[in-house]
Structure 1
Amino acid sequence: MKSVLYIFTFFIAFSMQAQSKYEEGMKKAFELWGQGKDSEASAMFERIAAAEKNNWLPNYYVALVNTTASFKTKDRAQVSALLDKAQKALDIEFDKQPLNSELLVLQALIYTGWVAFDPMTYAMKYSAQVTDLYDKAQKADPTNPRAVFGKAEYEMGGAKYFGSDTAPMCAEVKRSIDLFGKFKPETPFHPKWGLDRAIETLKDCKQ
């Protein structure tokens, strides 16, 4: 009985230690990202992903860090490298969870990165896929505010370009803000970004 209890206690202690290392690593990676050290944050998330093969979040953040970084540059080689890295990380988790709403949103964001970089080349290729991905993300999780806001923001960009009415998109932005208010991430590390941008977008709607 004592040996069984010892093994159980050891297992619990080991699990707590592993969890602690995961939490420490994630916190450090977010800290680096917050300091604008995108490549260091990405590398940290990659190391965590290698150790946490059954956890989709580290690779999700590898993809998100590199995707958001791609919007900061107009250098073709750099954009291509960042978005390719993001896609490879996302593909690892997409193969396991093809109906994960957050992964669908991130795939749409990666395609948006290509469209934003070179609309003439990539808009025709990816625009329909972007809206379809956001639709799938909303269907997979109707409470996901990023799925609602992402689609509204993307369609608003097209409406402004063609001089169309943006009122329907603004209504969806408002709906996304309502969803952000109710959204409760599963853990401190689950996606919760987007509210600030949605609020700023709604201000533009009212101008």
Structure 2
Amino acid sequence: MRKLTSLFVLLVIFTASAQDRYTKGMEKAFQLWESGQTGEASNLFERIATAEPDNWLPYYYASQVNTVISFGEKDEKKLTVQLEKAKEFLDVAKAISPDNPEILIQEALINTAWIAFDGATYGMTMSQKNVQLYQTAMELAPDNPRVVLSKAEWDMGAARYFGKDTAPYCKDVEKALELFATFKSETPFYPSWGKERAEEVLASCK
């Protein structure tokens, strides 16, 4: 009995220590990202992911870092490396957590980065994929504010492209803002971005 108790105590200590390393590692990665050290942030998220093989979040953020820095990139080789890396990370996250609306949104963001770089080459195929991704995400999580906002922004972009009014989608942005006020997750480091962006988009509506 005493041996079992000792083993249990050791297991608790080990688990707490591992969790503490994970927390500190993720916090450090976010700090690197915020300070503009995107390469270092991506590498750290990847190292954390290796130590947390059942956790989709480090892979998700490694993908997101490489995607965000790709917007505005003019060097095709550099862009290709970044977005292919982003897709590889996201594929692992998807394997860990299938049918995850946050991952679907991130996949659509990767596609959008390709479209922003060369709409003539990637617009048709990537746009069709995004329509499907956002539709699936809405079916899975209609009350997720990032899903609602991302789909609304995509619909606005499509409306502008075809010379249509974007005003009908402003109500979706308003709904997203309402959802941001109540959306909560018990998972540490769960995605929380989007509220400030929703406020900017809604301001442009008015």
Q: Is contact 1:135-1:147 (8 Å) kept?
A: no
Q: Is contact 1:63-1:89 (8 Å) kept?
A: yes
Q: Partner residue of 2:202?
A: 202
Q: Partner residue of 2:189?
A: 189
Offset at 1:135? 1.3
Provide the rounded CA distance (Å) in 2 between the counterparts of 1:93 and 1:120.
30
Q: Is contact 2:177-2:195 (8 Å) kept?
A: yes
**4+ residue stretches of structure 1 with deviation over 3 A?**
none
CA-to-partner distance for each residue in 1:71-108, whole Å, 9 max, x for gaps?
Answer: 14121111111110000000012123321111111111
Provide the rounded CA distance (Å) in 2 between the counterparts of 1:191 and 1:185.
9
Q: Is contact 2:64-2:106 (8 Å) kept?
A: yes
1:43 aligns to 2:4 (yes or no)? no
Q: Is contact 2:67-2:83 (8 Å) kept?
A: yes
Provide the rounded CA distance (Å) in 1 between the counterparts of 2:7 and 2:151.
51
Q: Partner residue of 2:65?
A: 65
Give the residue type in structure 1 aligned to 2:90: L
Give the residue type in structure 2 aligned to 1:149: L
Match runs of 1:26-105 below 5 Å? 26-105=26-105
Identity between Structure 1 and Structure 2 (%): 48
Q: Partner residue of 1:156?
A: 156
Could you tell me the TM-score, scaled by structure 2's length?
A: 0.97
Could you tell me the TM-score, scaled by structure 1's length?
A: 0.96
Give the residue type in structure 1 aligned to 2:118: D
CA-to-partner distance for each residue in 1:102-148, whole Å, 9 max, x for gaps?
Answer: 11111111111111111111110111211211111121112211111
Q: Partner residue of 1:137?
A: 137
Structure 2 SS opposite 1:95: helix
Offset at 1:186? 2.5
Q: Is contact 2:152-2:172 (8 Å) kept?
A: yes
Provide the rounded CA distance (Å) in 1 between the counterparts of 2:49 and 2:96.
14
Give the residue type in structure 1 aligned to 2:184: K
Offset at 1:45? 0.1
Structure 1 SS opposite 2:155: helix
Structure 2 SS opposite 1:73: coil
Q: Partner residue of 2:13?
A: 13
Q: Is contact 2:72-2:117 (8 Å) kept?
A: no
User: Where does structure 2 lack aligned partners over 5 or more consecutive residues?
Assistant: none
User: Where does structure 1 lack aligned partners over 5 or more consecutive residues?
Assistant: none
Give the residue type in structure 2 aligned to 1:189: F
Provide the rounded CA distance (Å) in 1 between the counterparts of 2:162 and 2:24.
47
Equivalent pairs counted in the alignment come to 206
